[in-house]
Structure 1
Amino acid sequence: MIKQHPTSSLSKIPRHLPLVVAIQDYYNLNSTQPLSFGPATFINGLPDLWDNPTVDLDAGAEVHVIHDAPHHPDLRVITTVAEVFYRIVGARSSNITTDPASLRGKRIGVSLNSTSEYFAYRYLRDVAGLSPDEYTLVGGSGKDRGLCYSLPCPNGTLPDLLKRGEIDAMTAYEPTTEMAIQTLGAEEAVVFRNDSLYREISVMYTTQSKLDDPATRARIVQFLRVLTKVQSVFAKEPSKIWDRVSNITANGTTQTSPQTLEKIWPLTRWTGGLPDDVEDLLEEEDKWAARDKTLGRGPMTRERIESHVYRGVLAEAEALGPL
């Protein structure tokens, strides 16, 4: 069987669901030479890929690549799992209007050191025209960093803080933003969105040493074909799997309902592959990440960023055709 970590770390956030379905339903669990999948990680290194030689593939937002690539020249991004658009939700009672400039002076809730913080930075700079000293970022707390996956949102989550007026607006992974809209109510919620500005790219990555091993490479190619098949269903026939993926998200007392999934589905692209602009996105985001003095580095060069994006195995999978 596939040697992998529990999928609960993957299944809370909808962007990872194609991986869970691919592993559960399509991948050959009885293979004598299975792949091993690491858990989704959060900007704390990729320990499985380098510390555990049995792990072949891992997945997460592109910000993981940005934080870990400088220390791991062997890292290779090989495909996209999903592309996710962000929204900002503000409260009218905080004197927020449909004018993005009304976010000036406001307390904006985010998951710190994540793509939601980066989206807030980009939107407030490029759309609202604000500098970082014209607003205050407030980080979510708790084990999920303030995220909420179903109503009612617990105390201390970002939607709860917004409802109680401890923050004025927020942005986070879906479905947390949708939960904030539902918590505030349609009359109170003000929603800001700009899809052309930035979208989070959930990527799958491996190491060059794994790709250099012919047997492992062949299995990775096969898995990419499986993932492409699942993504096609997610993109073209989503109503067929909303109930199924809702059950996958169940974790203790939380579960993202099929109705919520239907609402947030248009915020995600399930087309897979590697977008032509992925290097541009990584380069721009890395400039923001390198502003953090605790990292002790400047931005990566364009050449270094390009070295981490590898389209070879994806091309091999496409050449074999659909399953």
Structure 2
Amino acid sequence: MLSKLLTPLLLTSFSLTPVHASLTIAANLAVIEYTPMKIALEDFYPTPPNITIINGGVPNLFSANTTTLTDLASNAETQALRSYPSHRNLRTIYTISEVAYRLVTSSPSSLHPRLESLKGKRIGTIPATSAGYFVEALLDNAGVSPSSYTVVSGAHCLAAPCANDTLPAMLASGRVDAVALWEPTVELAARALRAANNNGTGVVFFQDEGVYREIYSLYSTAETLADPVKRGEVVRFVGALDRAVRVFEGEMERVVGRVARAVVPAVEEGLLRDVWGVHGWKGGLPADLLDVLVREDAYVARVEGRERLTRRELEALVDRSVLREVRGEDGEEEEEEER
């Protein structure tokens, strides 16, 4: 009789044990934007995390593109647009940071040049990236067509002294006339330019969030989100990430030292403080995300040599369901009201 009573009790206890899936996340460990994910795991994840962050990006979600297949990945929206035509199961589930990129160039101390002055100049960036699109969008908005300047490719830099093939070194030596990229490369380029000219030449930044902002997001696949166990872990992680992003927005001092060390290689803390404000730590999913994707796909399609995607085709790329689970059923409406 006792054994008959114990059996259902044991089964009931077993069924109530939460099931946690392991997750692997691909992120570019050399960018500041990924770091809220690391802080989320350290400070806010509800269980001992069975989650690994590796160096990579959106291509890691698809086995044909990489040897390391992951469940989640982070990248700027440009890389998502490059992958989506071949992988219609790609889903954007959470925006970690919105970054108002900057372009830096030199200026005589008595003058403040306009963007039109970059006609005929050499602009250092990394083509076919969010920075490449930023250059084109910023200059096009000023009436400067791509045919009237030259794009020169260079490498990013995280700490001075920057190597000879990096954009800061190229600007300081005069091999390019302007630099545009994600931070802290642009800030280091400005510092290198000042040092090269003994502070005799002014430095000017161009920045227009209304023309372009990087939308650095977390991505998954339709298959991962359809798996109940995997989805549960994704929702738990995004919940922790949402809390971490709020700390980045309002409590920089709590995390700035760890963030500086989390970037690979590490960023000097003073440099990180100087560029912290360039990053918008808003979280959620922007209300205008689909509009941004439609507009930017014109650039990506031309670079990739393909047809533009329609708005209807791009709609499936944005999945707000995980965010609604994290924030509640009315999470989408709240997000739109916040913006």
Same fold (TM over 0.5): yes
What one-letter code is carried by the residue in structure 2 that aligns with 1:269? Answer: G
Q: 1:126-275 maps to which residues of 2 (within 5 A)?
A: 126-127=141-142, 129-140=143-154, 146-185=155-194, 187-251=201-265, 255-275=266-286
Query: How much has 1:36 moved relative to structure 2?
Result: 5.8
Query: How much has 1:49 moved relative to structure 2?
Result: 3.8
Could you say which residue in structure 2 is the equivalent of 1:313?
322
CA distance in 1, matches of 2:68, 2:187: 39
CA distance in 2, matches of 1:72, 1:38: 21
Could you say which residue in structure 2 is the equivalent of 1:17?
35
Aligned partner of residue 82 in structure 1, secondary structure: strand
Could you say which residue in structure 1 is the equivalent of 2:7?
none
Going from structure 1 to structure 2, the CA distance change for 1:3 and 1:87 (only over 3 Å counts) comes to same
Aligned partner of residue 286 in structure 1, secondary structure: helix
CA distance in 2, matches of 1:30, 1:262: 30
Matched, 1:297 2:311: no
Identical positions, percent: 32
Query: How much has 1:67 moved relative to structure 2?
Result: 0.5
CA distance in 1, matches of 2:78, 2:224: 22
Going from structure 1 to structure 2, the CA distance change for 1:97 and 1:136 (only over 3 Å counts) comes to farther
CA distance in 1, matches of 2:103, 2:289: 23
Query: How much has 1:54 moved relative to structure 2?
Result: 6.3
Matched, 1:46 2:59: yes
Matched, 1:122 2:137: yes
Could you say which residue in structure 2 is the equivalent of 1:61?
76
Q: 1:22-33 maps to which residues of 2 (within 5 A)?
A: 22-27=40-45, 30=48
Matched, 1:75 2:90: yes
Are the counterparts in 2 of residues 235 and 269 from structure 1 also a CA contact under 8 Å? yes
5+ residue gaps, structure 1, are: 141-145
What one-letter code is carried by the residue in structure 2 that aligns with 1:307? Answer: A
Are the counterparts in 1 of residues 106 and 204 from structure 2 also a CA contact under 8 Å? yes
Moved more, 48-57 or 116-125: 48-57
CA distance in 1, matches of 2:96, 2:273: 19
Are the counterparts in 1 of residues 23 and 72 from structure 2 also a CA contact under 8 Å? no
Query: How much has 1:250 moved relative to structure 2?
Result: 4.7
1:281 to 278, 288, 292: 292
Are the counterparts in 2 of residues 49 and 58 from structure 1 also a CA contact under 8 Å? no
Going from structure 1 to structure 2, the CA distance change for 1:53 and 1:242 (only over 3 Å counts) comes to closer
Could you say which residue in structure 2 is the equivalent of 1:143?
none
Q: State the Cα RMSD in Å.
A: 2.4
Query: How much has 1:64 moved relative to structure 2?
Result: 1.4
Structure ID, larger Rg: 2
Could you say which residue in structure 1 is the equivalent of 2:8?
none
CA distance in 2, matches of 1:296, 1:102: 30
5+ residue gaps, structure 2, are: 1-20, 332-339
Q: TM-score, normalised by structure 2?
A: 0.82
Going from structure 1 to structure 2, the CA distance change for 1:248 and 1:121 (only over 3 Å counts) comes to same
Aligned partner of residue 181 in structure 2, secondary structure: coil
Q: TM-score, normalised by structure 1?
A: 0.86
CA distance in 1, matches of 2:319, 2:309: 17
Going from structure 1 to structure 2, the CA distance change for 1:23 and 1:152 (only over 3 Å counts) comes to same
Query: How much has 1:38 moved relative to structure 2?
Result: 5.7
CA distance in 2, matches of 1:37, 1:156: 28
CA distance in 2, matches of 1:237, 1:246: 15
Going from structure 1 to structure 2, the CA distance change for 1:217 and 1:259 (only over 3 Å counts) comes to same
Are the counterparts in 2 of residues 105 and 134 from structure 1 also a CA contact under 8 Å? yes
CA distance in 2, matches of 1:200, 1:156: 24
Moved more, 255-264 or 49-58: 49-58
Query: How much has 1:2 moved relative to structure 2?
Result: 5.1
Going from structure 1 to structure 2, the CA distance change for 1:117 and 1:96 (only over 3 Å counts) comes to farther
Query: How much has 1:303 moved relative to structure 2?
Result: 0.6
CA distance in 1, matches of 2:136, 2:47: 43
Query: How much has 1:11 moved relative to structure 2?
Result: 3.0
Query: How much has 1:249 moved relative to structure 2?
Result: 2.0
